[in-house]
Amino acid sequence: TTKVQALKKVAAAFALLILGRRIDKSFFTKPYATASVLGFLLYCIKAPRSLKGVKSLKKRLPLLGHVVAYEEIREHPVEGIYEWSKFHNFETFNTQMPFGLREIFLHDERDRKHILRSNFQNYKKNYSFMIGFKQIFHDLLGEGIFNVDSQEWVTHRKIASNLFTGKNIGVLMSEIFVSHGQNMVKSLSKLADEKKSFDIQLLFQSLVFDAFSEIAFGHTPQSFDNAIEGRKESFQTSFDMAQQFASDRSFELPPIRDLKIYFKLGQEKELARHLT
């Protein structure tokens, strides 16, 4: 596995370090031993080569891969990835990052079908201990259906299937969404008559939040009423910020990310506050 391979590389690096110290303590040997160990470490952490037969994103740096390219789209990743895809004529391409990390962006319908339907069980969200979903979203998604694989995922899927039945979707959910939708139409008409500005994104977010809360718990928090007045529920604010901070982890190199998580540095301190 990826974890075993990484541990083997680390063990080999330590072995080289110890061996280098024992070979000779002379002035001339030490630089060679140190250079050997540093060279091996660079080999272990350097970005991998592009996949054969698959296009590679431009702006690749030696050893660092596409670190700079990812940093450039950090604030607007969706738009950035769209521009990458557009540049490659919406054909499959890949990127490379240090520590052997690689991402493949699929644009072929056959590939999507292969992964999402035909061989879904073979493609896991936590295939790597460095960049798996649990490493990035563990404190936000916990052990929920969006964060687990294999039998755990199957168990969650069976539980959720009891809620998303044809009857519930066709009757209960539809009625609830129609009710909240009608309330939104009335509110928008009133705002138009009064010539008041409003945040349409906040209104849609609040509508969906209220509707799903009523479907799942039988109660609506009435966050839409606050949204009409330009106010945002504290829960919604914290949820948005937690999503943003957790997503930012995917742009960090694994060792740096894990250090920030452990010591609660930078955004990690803010994330912990929004999750409490």
- In angstroms, the CA 182 to CA 180 distance is 5
In the predicted structure, residue 169 carries a pLDDT above the cut 90:
no
- In angstroms, the CA 262 to CA 265 distance is 8
Q: Which two tokens stand for residue 94?
A: 């890949």
Domain count across the chain = 4
Establish if 185 belongs to a structural domain: yes
Establish if 63 belongs to a structural domain: yes
Mean pLDDT of 223-251: 92
Q: Are residues 79 and 37 in the same domain?
A: no
Give whole-number Cα distances, 97 to 57, 63, 257, in Å. 11, 8, 14
Q: What local confidence, expressed as pLDDT, does residue 117 receive? A: 92
| Cβ atoms 147, 134 nearer than 8 A | yes
Establish if 154 belongs to a structural domain: no
Strand (E) positions, the chain? Answer: 55-56, 93-97, 101-105
In the predicted structure, residue 168 carries a pLDDT above the cut 90:
no
Establish if 156 belongs to a structural domain: no
Q: Are residues 41 and 54 in the same domain?
A: no
State the pLDDT confidence band at 164, using cuts at 50, 70 and 90.
confident
Mean pLDDT of 115-143: 89
Domain endpoint, select from 11, 26, 45:
45
| Cβ atoms 133, 126 nearer than 8 A | yes
Structural domain including 69 reads 47-123
- Tens digit of each residue's pLDDT (9 = 90 or more) over 194-233: 999 999 999 999 999 999 999 888 899 999 999 999 999 9
- Which of 30-44, 49-63, 154-168: highest mean pLDDT? 49-63
In the predicted structure, residue 128 carries a pLDDT above the cut 90:
no
| Cβ atoms 141, 148 nearer than 8 A | no
| Cβ atoms 207, 181 nearer than 8 A | yes
